Amino acid sequence: MLETNKTNKVNMRTIKLAPSILTADFSKLFEEIRAIERGGADLLHLDVMDGQFVPPITFGADIVAAISKITNLPIEVHLMVTNPEQHIESFSQTADKINFHFEASDQISETIDAIHKLGCSAGICINPETPVDMVNNYLEKTEQIMIMTINPGWGGQTMMFEQLNKVKELRKTIDIHKYKTQIEIDGGVKIENIGLCAEAGADTLVCGSSVYNSKDKPESNLAKLRSAIPD
């Protein structure tokens, strides 16, 4: 019997798991998504890449809309695109959360406001080379900050562990000011390091290749990941 929807609390925070379909089998996407629903996913993480901000191209708002029809999971889009402000309206039709990159926009505050006006939660993602204090001015008005623990563009990379220091620093800042902003980690999350991610202060963990791989079924992988989070 698979363990699903177990609540793991670390420092009084419930850790959410957000599978990314980047390494899923797209020829059977419906079943791949059903599997993580059975495995107790908290939300679905969709990686949108434009071939400019990052070299690969994945998919756009029409595919996100199609995916939203086959799942009831909340959807967050991770926009790895230049000029994200030009694209948020189309994604807002079907996504619940829109995360864009700090490095991709010179209109951070305006973009957050626009996302809110369109009825979605707003998140800022920061690349490994971006200092975490660059987002301090926006903490009060964003629902989440995503710390990239890999260079964006591909699944299956090894976590850059030093990036967890940014998570710890951000956790302190958020707690001191009692902001509601949540912290998300994206990149290289695995059974072996999921405890460290939780203890560093993350609220949500993106899991790509640790869920969709040839070792086991996605639902089993997801349940094992959840069990590896310390209570």
Q: Which residues bind ligand DX5 (CB under 6 A)?
A: 20, 22, 45, 47, 78, 150, 152-157, 186-189, 206-210
**Chosen from ligand DX5, Zn ion, none, partner binding at 184 (C-beta under 5 to 8 Å by type):** none
**Chosen from ligand DX5, Zn ion, none, partner binding at 60 (C-beta under 5 to 8 Å by type):** none
Residues 16/204, Cβ–Cβ less than 8 Å: yes
For 119, other C-beta atoms within 10 Å of its C-beta total 10
Q: Which residues of the chain form contacts with Zn ion (CB under 5 A)? A: 47, 78, 186
**Chosen from Zn ion, ligand DX5, none, partner binding at 188 (C-beta under 5 to 8 Å by type):** ligand DX5
Q: Is 47 a catalytic residue?
A: yes
- Which residue is catalytic, options 113, 186, 203, 231? 186
Residue 12 Cβ vs Zn ion, minimum distance, rounded to whole Å = 26
C-alpha dist (Å) from residue 182 to 42, 94, 122:
14, 21, 11
Residues 214/194, Cβ–Cβ less than 8 Å: no
User: Locate tokens 């710390």: which residue?
Assistant: 147
User: Locate tokens 């419930």: which residue?
Assistant: 14
For ligand DX5, the closer of residues 175 and 216 by Cβ is 216
- Which residue is catalytic, options 42, 47, 106, 133? 47
**What is the spatial distance between Cα 107 and Cα 12, in angstroms, rounded to a whole number?**
34
Residue nearest ligand DX5 by beta-carbon distance: 208
Residue 185 Cβ vs ligand DX5, minimum distance, rounded to whole Å = 10
Residue 97 Cβ vs ligand DX5, minimum distance, rounded to whole Å = 13
Residue 216 Cβ vs ligand DX5, minimum distance, rounded to whole Å = 15
**Chosen from Zn ion, ligand DX5, none, partner binding at 136 (C-beta under 5 to 8 Å by type):** none
CA angle 28, 34, 35 (to 5 degrees): 90
Residue nearest Zn ion by beta-carbon distance: 78
For ligand DX5, the closer of residues 29 and 178 by Cβ is 29
**What is the spatial distance between Cα 212 and Cα 47, in angstroms, rounded to a whole number?**
14
CA angle 79, 83, 88 (to 5 degrees): 55
For residue 153, what are the contacts with CB-CB under 8 A and spacing of at least 6?
A: 49, 54, 55, 56, 80
> Mind telling me the catalytic residues?
47, 186
